[in-house]
Structure 1
Amino acid sequence: MLYIVLPIYWKEAGLQSLIEVGILLSVNRFVRLPMNPLVGWLYHRLSLRKGLLIAIVLSVTATVGYGLANSFWIWFILRCIWGMAWSLLKLGGYFTVILCAEDSNRGKWMGTYNGLYRLGSLFGMLLGGFLASTWGITGVTFLFGFTPFLAIPFLFISFEDSHVTNQSRKKLHWNQETKTWLFSRQVMQAVVSGLLIAMLFQGILTSTLSYVIEYHHFELAMLGFVVAGSALSGLLQAFRWTWEPFLATNIGKWSDGEKGRKPYLVIFLFIAGITYSLIPLEVPLLIWLPIVIVLLISATALTTLIDAIASDAAKEGNTVVFMTIYSMMIDMGAALGPLLGYAVIRLQNGLWLTYGGAALILIGVGILWTIRTRESGN
């Protein structure tokens, strides 16, 4: 919601410039990097229900506070609180899937989880943007702020007041066995792949897509109106969030089958690598749009598959430690993506360097997973 509302109503929010808006929209992601280990430590000691209850209280505090904030530093503190809330929510979501799913349906439920919270992003963007024009930023933030209370009954109906994992307390400790497992090739490959996928899709693609559209001078005529580059980028992102609940669930379900997740991961890594390399091409919009749509579909598939592979790995050892590290690497990749993307894209032939380099990374990761799949036999 804030990504749509704050760049327009920043004066009403008590801010002095768009630079402050940019800082506020990114600080919650950066604060999650040091927060994730703390959140993992909390889930060592708290039940899943209690951790999610804390997340709800923090998210209500932050979002309602947006409607009352009248200075940059108050907004800054509230965005840090929201970063903490989201770390609890995201890790709580991962742990819920791992706790409730079986080997035969873990991919399906991981896809469902990812798709549902992306659907929430879509409603936040559309409903927030619409209501802000009539209610103002205070009205919208109050409405959105109190909404998380609706989740509390589900926590008491659906969640036992138990810890994240049924592993023994001894296994949860940081010991030599945990270190050996954590630095094994299987675990490290899942973590590094997750970081790179987040960097390339949540970071570089999401942040530079509107720039690429403007670079190509693309405009889309719809119903007598001309859709400019930034709007077209938002429209494509909205399409992705619309199909994610269905596509992510089905991809996850396919990966639960006999073939496993790795063959699908390899296929989509190569598809993404090829389509990434085609984005800088000077072609008509009607040819370019299907290319970027295939790339966005690949992004949905890769995010779902690598999360499912990570949850599979987490079941083999220290669940809390692994998912904490994995979540932190995802956030790091998403935070590094825009910085690296705009550092390279402004260079001579920067568009080709950025997207060509991303394509090579994806194909390289695909080759490594192909080797890994053949060695392990699945």
Structure 2
Amino acid sequence: MSAAPPPSAPDVSLRSTDLDSRHAAMALGLSLPADVVLYLLLPMYAAQFGVSLAEVGLLLAANRLVRIAGYGWVARFYARHGDRASCTLAVVAAACCGLGYATLSGFWALLPLRLTWGLCFAALNLSTQALATADPIGAARRSGRSRAFIATGPVLALPLGALMAYTVGPRAIFGVLAVVSLLALFVTRRLPSTPHHSAAPKRRFQRPNALDGWSFMEGLALDGLFIVGLSYLGKDLLPGGAVLVAGVLLALRYLAEIFLGPVGGRMAEHFGAERLLVSLSLVTALALVGFGLGWLWSCAALIVVLRALQLPLLPPIVARRTPGPERVRALAARAVWRDIGAGAGPLLAGVLLPIASPPWIYGTAALLLAAAALACVRRASPPIPIQENIAP
């Protein structure tokens, strides 16, 4: 019987890319829970953290706002030092942030932690996207699987955080999650250490394109207004067990990423990432309208599903439109626009939810999201061909 032929060089390269992408996603998945649990608990337990609702909005926005100014610096550091050094430093700093959430109170004590976490997330998120799109073949598939690994940590931490908040208070969970963050050091040591060559930008500020507009509105509506609104409005609907219901629903948001992120990546390879992005965004806009009209839990569940399908779509679109050395910089630029929107979302929620009608708030957000999605129609491109015989 003849021996099986050795794997070809392209197959070995794709397997290596798959493993690198998986390790980066695991590092982010282990570091992320303290941040997502803070989004759940801070609006409901603002007094126990020594902050007002308006300050809650500022704190939840701060980690994204700092990335608007800091993503360029993070991208340069990442390009110069590579994935291993950048992600290791980010993981250690993320653990320090979790410990601070467990022990510190007051706006000025928590603000430096939120700013630090913002830069940590920028490095970890950039690594996951850059490694997932390092080879254009299978980029959408890797991006979807990456989202599944990232979501594993939050899907376990959110119900645990809600249960601990309900029984022993909202602070203890963050000490546990700080230790969990340090476990990511076991995977960051397996990341590649080679630097990423990146071309110098032609100019510092560029006119936003259609994808920038969509990224901004997606961040504003789904990572800002929706998340804060779910905790704030749910507290009024279920005053006794709101933290448990909201925690489970937010956990389902990440559970949906585990199961539907890979589905979204495969759908993008079959139907085209841009076309799928536009279609799903329009349905999301309708769900936002229902959320504002009072169908809180049912529309929130639908938004969770739609968001999970959309998350893997942007990196392969960016990689296709910006190949070569500019890819890392382009991925960072799109992330900045999403962060601008997601940073403005909690600020708007903190100001508008106590004084404005939810149908008006979420109806306006839905209209703007639909307009941003339709602006991407002209940019649609054919599907990515599927590469067979790739290691899972």
TM-score by structure 1 length? 0.76
1:320 partnered with 2:322 = no
- Distance change in 2, residues 1:88/1:78 (3 Å): same
Aligned residue in 2 for 1:173: 200
How many angstroms apart in 1 are the aligned matches of 2:173 and 2:231?
Answer: 26
1:359 partnered with 2:359 = no
Q: Secondary structure at 1:275's aligned position in 2?
A: helix
How many angstroms apart in 2 are the aligned matches of 1:98 and 1:256?
Answer: 14
- Distance change in 2, residues 1:98/1:7 (3 Å): same
Query: Structure 2: which 5+ residue stretches go unaligned?
Result: 1-36, 384-392
1:98-150 deviations in whole A, cap 9, x for unaligned? 23xx3342122222222332332232222334456778777644432233332
Query: Structure 1: which 5+ residue stretches go unaligned?
Result: 220-225
Q: How many residues are paired up? A: 347
Q: CA RMSD in A?
A: 3.6
- Distance change in 2, residues 1:136/1:39 (3 Å): same
State the shift of 1:42 in Å: 0.8
How many angstroms apart in 2 are the aligned matches of 1:363 and 1:23?
Answer: 27
State the shift of 1:51 in Å: 0.8
Matching residue within 54, 72, 75 for 2:89: 54
- Say whether the 8 Å CA contact 1:197–1:302 is kept in structure 2: no
Q: How does 1:1-378 map to 2 (within 5 A)?
A: 1-4=37-40, 15=50, 23-69=58-104, 73-99=108-134, 102-131=135-164, 140-157=173-190, 159-164=191-196, 169=197, 172-175=199-202, 188-210=209-231, 232-257=245-270, 259-281=271-293, 289-316=297-324, 318-341=326-349, 350-373=357-380
- Say whether the 8 Å CA contact 2:292–2:358 is kept in structure 1: yes
Q: Secondary structure at 1:85's aligned position in 2?
A: helix
1:326-351 deviations in whole A, cap 9, x for unaligned? 11111111011233456566677x43
The worse-fitting range, judged by mean Cα deviation, of 139-148 and 83-92 is 139-148
- Distance change in 2, residues 1:315/1:213 (3 Å): same
How many angstroms apart in 2 are the aligned matches of 1:129 and 1:212?
Answer: 16
State the shift of 1:87 in Å: 1.8
How many angstroms apart in 2 are the aligned matches of 1:8 and 1:362?
Answer: 27
The worse-fitting range, judged by mean Cα deviation, of 248-257 and 65-74 is 65-74
- Say whether the 8 Å CA contact 1:111–1:250 is kept in structure 2: yes
Q: Secondary structure at 1:103's aligned position in 2?
A: coil
1:193-218 deviations in whole A, cap 9, x for unaligned? 1111111111122222355557xx85
- Distance change in 2, residues 1:356/1:93 (3 Å): same
Aligned residue in 2 for 1:223: none
- Say whether the 8 Å CA contact 1:98–1:311 is kept in structure 2: yes
State the shift of 1:18 in Å: 6.5
- Distance change in 2, residues 1:322/1:346 (3 Å): same
TM-score by structure 2 length? 0.74
Letter aligned with residue 130 of structure 2: F
- Distance change in 2, residues 1:55/1:230 (3 Å): closer
- Say whether the 8 Å CA contact 2:41–2:243 is kept in structure 1: no
State the shift of 1:229 in Å: 5.7
- Say whether the 8 Å CA contact 2:78–2:195 is kept in structure 1: yes
